[in-house]
Structure 1
Amino acid sequence: MQLAWIAGLFVAFPDQPRPWVDEVVYGVIIEKFFDGDTSNNHMKDRFIKDRSKYEGGFWGGDLKGVIDKLDDLAGLGVTSILLYPVMQNDDAPIAKYLPTGYRPMDYEHVDKNFGDTATLRALVDAAHARNLRVMLDMPITLPGFHHPFLADPAKKAWFGPKSEYGVPRWRAENPEVADYLIGVCERWKERSNCDGFRLDSAHLQPVSFWKRFVAELKAAPPTKPFVILPELTVNPRQIGKFITEAGFDGAYDFSVLRARDVFGKGEDVGALSFIAREAKQFYPAPRTMLAPIDNYEKAFATIAKEPKAARTLLALTYILTLDRVPLLYAGNELGVAFSEVGGAFPADRNTSPFLRKVKALIALRNHEPALRRGDFTEVVARDSVYAFLRTFGDDRILVILNGSDQPRDFAAPIGDRAWRDGLLVDLLDGRTVKASGSDEAVRVNAFGSRIVKVR
């Protein structure tokens, strides 16, 4: 039995490792998250007077800031933290663009704006003490503009043609390059004691390299469950093939981002039906796929129509009950988009009604195996209503999402059972919403949802 320190109490956890499908992931873009150490604000101090001239950049967020907020994340109920790149980046602008983590100049050290290796290890250790796992984003497909190997004539064969991002990709089919990149990642795994890697733009490298990468990284010390997830900006058929051939634990399911248009802009719920069919057809295991409602560059709240809060909560309900591993970015839990460092931690954060609702949804997912591991069956996709059933053994949970600005009354066969035969109990408030033997419909509020146990 393992003990963890959470909210001032020692809590016991079983020794059995938590499977990947049980995770709720929280994405931390370090430079935007929280400033815990003002002494390392090197880029901020250098460029702050001309900030309006630049895009990107590191403006104060650091690893100490993440450590300072670990209790908040544990209290939110998330189970894994995805740290966006920590490696030393280029420290000069390219035209109007300052680095954002994806221009690695030194693959062996933590960026000086974020802290150092000891602080990273302290963060991982502190997260583990709260039963939180930590994944690192490893930008090893492309070097930064100022990586020293680019200027080394002896390393010319290490690089391919220039990519769409303005730098050549590492030629990982070259055994020397493969040895180097795998060695880099083995060292990060060992010195940080992290629990997994995200691999940026993985489709730019051959699957043969990733097959070797996965095998060697999983075997490298420390030996423990280790999740490896690629970002693959290709179509779902290619993603499924890539996962299967390389042996990845899953991948990003960017198809789920269509929920931004459905719940954020009121587009047809048929798009969600298409996502479900695509996942079943092409992904080896949809439950292992990582599902966000927004991305690194554009938060859901920036594209959603009014009422933004209700639409954001509906989209979060979708990914927290879907057969995927949900990914929340900092700020999603408040229903906000923020640009200033620390924007996800306003003074009134802990009294936010929106935050309380998101905590309840995460707690429900963590409590109900059917929402994490259950089979997925679509029930209805019409008239702005999307409903599906999650089934695990004898447990059945019906999720009804209403993307309309009007209330909807819902009644439909639930799997192989007639509507009147089901006793429905709301899992968030414990009340019976429909008695067995009744034909009464369930009312779902405008931009609202119902999550009910079917008995």
Structure 2
Amino acid sequence: MLKKVLAFCIIPLLIFCAVPANAAGKEQRDWQSQNVYYLIVDRFNNGDDSNDYNTNTKKDLSFQGGDFQGIIDRLDYIKDLGFTAILLNPIFDNDSNGYAGDRITNFFKTDEHYGSMKKFQQLVKEAHKKKMKVMLNFVTNQISPDHPWVKDPTKSDWLKGKTKDGMIVLNQNNPDVNQYFIKAGKWWVQKTGIDGYYLSNVEDAPISFWKDFNSAVRSVNKDFFLLGDVHTNNVKTIKTYEQAGFDGFYDNPQNQPLRNAFSNINESATSLMDIVKKNKHTYNSDTINAIYFDNPYMTRFTRDMVNANKYPGTRWKLALTYMYTQPEMPVMYYGSEIAIDGGNAPENRKMMNFRADKDLMDYMTQISDLRAKNPALVKGTFTPLYDKNGMTIYKREYKGDINIVAINNTNSTQGISIDASQFKGDKELHGLLEGGIIRTDNGKFKLVLERETSEIYRVVDKTGINFGFISVLVIVWVLFFAFIIAAKKRGKRNAN
């Protein structure tokens, strides 16, 4: 009897408390909401010693043993950091110096150092089981000097010349070359079930080729994601390739301003605010661009911090706050979660050692989770509210959900007031990173942030006194005391 009464009293309270007020829910993930982890297979994790052909971990330009099995073994590690997609370097068969995948000798075969086609198919399946997508870097502009085409007289018009490092440049004005790559592009989608391509050096091929290639690939999978990389900082030039059917582009024009803004203290973010505005008015509304700090072809972002004599952990946290709350799809180069340092290649392609930088890794997980749970941080409008000498505040709004992002990249505590009248109704701000509630004071919200910190606020209805919750508590206590009194009376009757 006692258990039944207690259950009757407590269950309503639990139900009432279990429904969070103003909670934002997860929406189905599209590509704009993905967080992408970019890795080099050979430099990530060695999970199978049987394919370690002529590996040498002491030489930066040699294969070092990373493989498909190693990625499979670490999928949970990647997912736990908040990543929902992985981007792999070219995995096609390479010559003996092609650890990074860009010295290709056969486009229809996996490199033996990485593992078999069967093993790669297993990798894709295991990733999909964990609701993670898989993208490949698909090369169309060059091949290894050891590729059979180089010595084939019937393919002489397929070749165009050499790069400075001896790679063979392909003639992408040749229809036969283009048909070959269209066939290969479709084949990998059909054979493996991958979800997208990262297509570099887009400018090396005519737009007509990309129209045919992208259309052909989508004939296999209509939802296949095509991310182009046009090597220019001219936004208008990049935009011309929208007509070729790309879903989005690497935001190269934003990269250097992004690195400049967060590698040092007291740096203005004005250029970033301007880029967001310019992109909105330049690209089609459904174009999904990718934001990045570094990649295999440039110095590590951490190197900028080291050169500025700044602590990387603090710098990375501020940078991540911006990266995960601005409108574009984040692409993170492997090792950034532990602030790996490195100069130009091959120094920026060291073997991953998985030493824990728990503080930074936990922050990456936290900020990823907030991005997933707050649709406004992904799809919302972007409105700058304050921007001065490293103190930046902006608003993201989507379907009535509003987030305020504040980043204090200065050497002192900042207190900034923002007008509460821009929000409909009586509102308050709930901190999502550090917690806390900010209520209006004379029609203003005063945001106070210590130096080199950030906060993401959710704009919610003012809570005030929660009469519903108090009523439930009163009812529970009344029922409880009524039960105690009844029990005592029954005990006395039984005693008599």
Same-fold status (TM-score > 0.5): yes
* Contact 2:392–2:406 (CA under 8 A) maintained in structure 1: yes
Trace 1:46-445 onto structure 2 (pairs within 5 A): 51=59, 56-92=61-97, 99-163=99-163, 166-220=166-220, 223=221, 225-234=223-232, 235-242=234-241, 244-257=242-255, 258-266=257-265, 267-285=267-285, 288-296=288-296, 297-304=298-305, 305=308, 306-337=310-341, 340-343=350-353, 345-346=354-355, 348=356, 352-413=358-419, 417=422, 422-435=427-440, 437=442, 439=444, 441-445=446-450
What is the RMSD of the two structures over their aligned residues, measured on CA atoms? 2.3
Q: Write the deviation string for residues 221-274 of structure 1: whole angstroms up to 9, x where unpaired.
A: xx35210111111221111121x2111010111233221111103433222123
The Cα shift of 1:158 comes to 1.3
The Cα shift of 1:124 comes to 0.3
Q: Write the deviation string for residues 61-118 of structure 1: whole angstroms up to 9, x where unpaired.
A: 11111000011112222111111111111214xxxxx652111111111111111111
Query: After alignment, is 389-398 or 422-431 more displaced?
Result: 422-431
* Contact 1:105–1:144 (CA under 8 A) maintained in structure 2: yes
C-alpha separation in 2, matches of 1:196 and 1:418: 39
> Secondary structure of 1:215's match?
helix
Amino acid at match of 1:21: Q
C-alpha separation in 2, matches of 1:413 and 1:143: 58
* Contact 1:287–1:324 (CA under 8 A) maintained in structure 2: no
Amino acid at match of 2:341: A
C-alpha separation in 1, matches of 2:125 and 2:375: 28
The Cα shift of 1:389 comes to 1.1
C-alpha separation in 2, matches of 1:372 and 1:287: 13
C-alpha separation in 2, matches of 1:161 and 1:420: 66
CA distance 1:436–1:363, shift in 2 (3 Å): farther
What percentage of residue pairs aligned between the two structures are identical?
Answer: 28
C-alpha separation in 1, matches of 2:117 and 2:235: 37
C-alpha separation in 2, matches of 1:385 and 1:420: 27
> Secondary structure of 2:392's match?
strand
CA distance 1:400–1:165, shift in 2 (3 Å): farther
* Contact 1:403–1:447 (CA under 8 A) maintained in structure 2: yes
The Cα shift of 1:430 comes to 4.2
The Cα shift of 1:380 comes to 2.1
C-alpha separation in 2, matches of 1:421 and 1:287: 36
The Cα shift of 1:437 comes to 4.8
* Contact 2:419–2:445 (CA under 8 A) maintained in structure 1: no
* Contact 1:21–1:287 (CA under 8 A) maintained in structure 2: no
TM-score normalised by the chain length of structure 2:
0.80
Q: Write the deviation string for residues 267-322 of structure 1: whole angstroms up to 9, x where unpaired.
A: 33222123223312322248611111222232221211312111111111111000
- Structure 1 residue runs of 5 or longer lacking an equivalent are 1-15, 93-97
C-alpha separation in 2, matches of 1:356 and 1:303: 23
Amino acid at match of 2:55: K
**Residue in 2 that maps onto 1:36:** 47
Amino acid at match of 1:263: F
From the CA coordinates, give the structure whose radius of gyration is larger.
2
Amino acid at match of 1:302: R
CA distance 1:289–1:423, shift in 2 (3 Å): same
* Contact 2:394–2:406 (CA under 8 A) maintained in structure 1: yes
C-alpha separation in 1, matches of 2:96 and 2:188: 21
Q: Write the deviation string for residues 124-166 of structure 1: whole angstroms up to 9, x where unpaired.
A: 0000000001001111221122211122111111123445664
C-alpha separation in 2, matches of 1:141 and 1:208: 15
* Contact 1:286–1:323 (CA under 8 A) maintained in structure 2: no
* Contact 1:423–1:436 (CA under 8 A) maintained in structure 2: no
CA distance 1:17–1:183, shift in 2 (3 Å): farther
* Contact 2:236–2:282 (CA under 8 A) maintained in structure 1: yes
Q: How many residues align?
A: 421
The Cα shift of 1:436 comes to 6.5
**Residue in 1 that maps onto 2:490:** none
* Contact 2:172–2:204 (CA under 8 A) maintained in structure 1: no
CA distance 1:162–1:340, shift in 2 (3 Å): closer
Query: After alignment, is 167-176 or 371-380 more displaced?
Result: 167-176
CA distance 1:435–1:268, shift in 2 (3 Å): closer
Amino acid at match of 2:351: V
